[in-house]
Chain A
Amino acid sequence: MSAPEPWDVDALVDDPVTRILVCCGAGGVGKTTTAAALGLRAAERGRRAVVITVDPARRLAQSLGLESLDNTPRPVPLPEGAAGSLHAMMLDMKRTFDEVVEEHADPERARQILANPFYRTLSTSFSGTQEYMAMEKLGQLRQSGDWDLIVVDTPPSRSALDFLDAPKRLGRFLDGRLIRFLGAPASTGAFRLLGAGVGMVTSAIGRIVGAQLLNDLRAFVAAFETVFGGFQERAERTYRLLQAPGTAFVVVAVPDTDAMREAAYFVERLAADSMPLGGLVVNRAHPLPEGPAAALDAGRAVAAAESLERSGSHPLASAALRLHADRVRTRERENRLRDALLSAHPGVPVAEVAALPEDVHDLAGLRTIGAALAAAARGR
């Protein structure tokens, strides 16, 4: 299989047309770090960049030189003479949700909504709220015009689907038949269509969730009706924003079977939804050093190690050869996984980042990753 198409990361982050980068992928693959590294790279090459993370890891804040992150973009101190600027924030989904409600409802109604127990659950634990609010925040930042590049780190979803589907799901839920059913007086003809008696259905709901929850829900629906139209509209606008030419999705993976399968799935899903794919980042790869080591295959390395072990001399060299054999096999496996993805999805640009011995702790570490991302285009 021929080498993958190298991804020109710098061309993408330098292009003023690029306004939004969305990093997505399975959990634990380094999405947040990749997002931060891309933001830093763009900032140091002259963009006014902001990174939105959903990961509450303090380590990321520290690596950006900040004490902590909150729902407002904070400036990241860059070395003097940096060409651009970098801000970072961490999504607070409840705060963001409250803001949306406050913006769309009159003060009295907003107060009612914010105090409703049902709303409190919705805003803190609906399984799509985080994804929805990440998109909401993205829309706000985009509209503010304060940044010319927004890098979004997506929530660690149960499945890749959640991120794209959650906003719609929340919309569907809030606009759903059940909500209307519960909000409306129980005398409408809707019940007839259900094939079950009114009493049976209401008593079933009452028995499962309890009458108090039902009342909270009704109060919520009544109060929320007015803001709902705004929600639906915003969700659709954000969805279209993701399809716009200024957006690029960055699919992040590590070279193992699960993460690469998830990545392939994501690539398919983006294509199906007409979402523009920027490229695939393969983190924690194990490229071989150039020169004679790259040509020394696993079999020969093991044979050479065995011959040294028989003579009992040079334990360091035999250990190094076994280590190399392991590394070659690892590399072969990584290449197979990558090639499998590329043969199913030809032309996906790839940038590989070699495994680092330690996690990233500071700007220098993020800069190294940014440079590694950009190095793909210059060949190895």
Chain B
Amino acid sequence: MSEGEHGPRPPADARARLHIVTGKGGTGKTTAAAALARALAADGGRVLLVEVEGRQGLATLLGVPPLPYEEREMLSVPGGGTVCVLAADPEAALLEYLEMFYGMRRAGQALNRLGAVDFATTIAPGLRDVLLTGKATEAVRRRRGARRRSADAPATAPFHYDAVVMDAPPTGRIARFLNVNSEVAGLARVGPVRNHADRVMEVIRSAQTRVHFVSLLEEMPVQETREGIAELAGLGIPVGTVLVNMVRPPLLAEADLAAAASADGADTDALSAGLKEAGLEHPGELAAALAGEVRAHALRVGLERRMRAELEALGRPLLELPLLEGGVDRAALELLARRLSEQGVRR
């Protein structure tokens, strides 16, 4: 029996501990990932937010200088929750991997001088990706009391992080990024890298993982979301929610929207009368100009509705985030996280 066939799925499945957030460029993926991390840290949760593209998008979002390769506590959430942030870069991850699993610190540094790290991290995205996803899955498996390897701590110890949220590559590259197994398979049929990839893949395909898609109510992001979901489903990677970002509140009544979108356009006489009553100058001319703005808005609302219907047809829970005037800062992030909590996002 597959899950989700009986009744609506909760937006954030309680078993999910690795939340991978993707989306077309420009949809606000980083912001959505940060808001999700914050929402999951409500009520005392301990959450790790990982960025993997070396863009320092989280540092920019939080208004801090570039972050080092280090899990650093960046947000404390009322109720005792914390969000730690890690800007993962493949080079540092490789050196850490070598040290952690092979105790090869000096050899790692020698390799670095040789350009081997450049090799492993640039030549084959498969190797690069397995290091980055490996870092995130390691944090998912890590238990409290573990000093180095996850295996150090007893399997009964509570997890170090309640949830790990990854600000992942964009939709166009997400399937390849997460399907590290087959990426690496082309290069390494056996050996430690292959084993590592298998272990990472096991976590990614498990019920612990959800891949969330950030979309806007625009044609291209919706199309990419549809394609991305189909691609991941085909790979057996669990898809979570669709986060509809930058949603605007409706301003016009239904009848006015319909009229404005029609060939006649908005009722300029009514508009002009209203503007006159409000004491504005040149009500006639102004009404004509505003009618143009109203029409553009109505067409956009129509398009947004068609796009929402298409997203609903994908059969995934939709979560909404409002459009924020004036960009995103910490306060805005708090508001977005609250919106997610109100829609049922919790651990």
CA distance A319 to B270 in the complex (A): 12
Given B24, B122, B189, B325, which contacts A169 in the complex, CB threshold below 8 Å? B122
A156 within 8 Å of B (CB atoms): yes
Given A57, A117, A178, which contacts B115 in the complex, CB threshold below 8 Å? A178
What A residues does B119 contact at CB under 8 A? 173, 176, 178
A interface secondary structure, majority: helix
Closest to B250 in A: A319
CA distance A256 to B293 in the complex (A): 21
Nearest Cβ on chain A to B180's Cβ, whole angstroms? 12
- CB pair A291 B118 closer than 8 Å: no
CA distance A326 to B290 in the complex (A): 12
- CB pair A201 B107 closer than 8 Å: yes
A137 within 8 Å of B (CB atoms): no
Given B218, B277, B297, B303, which contacts A308 in the complex, CB threshold below 8 Å? B277
What A residues does B192 contact at CB under 8 A? 207-208, 210
Q: Contact string, A143-174, partner B, CB cutoff 8 A, digits 1/0? A: 00000000000001011000000000100010
- CB pair B280 A296 closer than 8 Å: yes
Residues of chain A from 301 to 337 with CB closer than 8 A to chain B in the complex: 304-305, 307-308, 311, 313-324, 326-327, 329-330, 333
- CB pair B271 A208 closer than 8 Å: no
B320 within 8 Å of A (CB atoms): no
What B residues does A261 contact at CB under 8 A? 60
Residues of chain B from 256 to 286 with CB closer than 8 A to chain A in the complex: 256, 266-267, 270-271, 273-275, 277-282, 285-286
Binding-face segment, B34-42, B124-132, B230-238: B124-132
Residues of chain B from 287 to 325 with CB closer than 8 A to chain A in the complex: 287, 289-294, 296-297, 299-300, 303, 325
Q: Contact string, B243-262, partner A, CB cutoff 8 A, digits 1/0? A: 00000000111001000000
- CB pair B289 A357 closer than 8 Å: no
Nearest Cβ on chain A to B136's Cβ, whole angstroms? 17
CA distance A178 to B111 in the complex (A): 9
Closest to B124 in A: A121
What B residues does A121 contact at CB under 8 A? 123-124, 126, 186-187
A379 within 8 Å of B (CB atoms): no
CA distance A117 to B187 in the complex (A): 7
B interface secondary structure, majority: helix
- CB pair A359 B219 closer than 8 Å: yes
Given A120, A125, A173, A256, which contacts B183 in the complex, CB threshold below 8 Å? A125
CA distance A203 to B191 in the complex (A): 12
B81 within 8 Å of A (CB atoms): no
Residues of chain A from 57 to 100 with CB closer than 8 A to chain B in the complex: 57, 59
Most buried by B among A159, A205, A308, A321: A321
- CB pair B251 A323 closer than 8 Å: yes
B120 within 8 Å of A (CB atoms): yes
- CB pair B53 A158 closer than 8 Å: yes
What A residues does B149 contact at CB under 8 A? none
What A residues does B293 contact at CB under 8 A? 289, 293, 320, 323-324, 327
- CB pair B107 A196 closer than 8 Å: yes
Q: Contact string, A224-264, partner B, CB cutoff 8 A, digits 1/0? A: 00000000000000000000000000000010111101000
What B residues does A308 contact at CB under 8 A? 274, 277-278
What B residues does A355 contact at CB under 8 A? 296
CA distance A258 to B30 in the complex (A): 11
- CB pair B289 A118 closer than 8 Å: no
Residues of chain B from 95 to 122 with CB closer than 8 A to chain A in the complex: 98, 102, 104, 106-108, 110-111, 113-116, 118-120, 122
14 A-B contact pairs sorted by A residue (CB < 8 Å)? A28-B220, A57-B220, A125-B124, A127-B122, A173-B118, A205-B111, A209-B187, A213-B191, A256-B327, A292-B285, A296-B280, A307-B278, A316-B274, A322-B251
> Which 10 A-B residue pairs are closest in the complex by CB-CB distance?
A317-B274, A27-B25, A28-B26, A210-B191, A314-B274, A293-B289, A28-B25, A196-B110, A357-B299, A304-B278
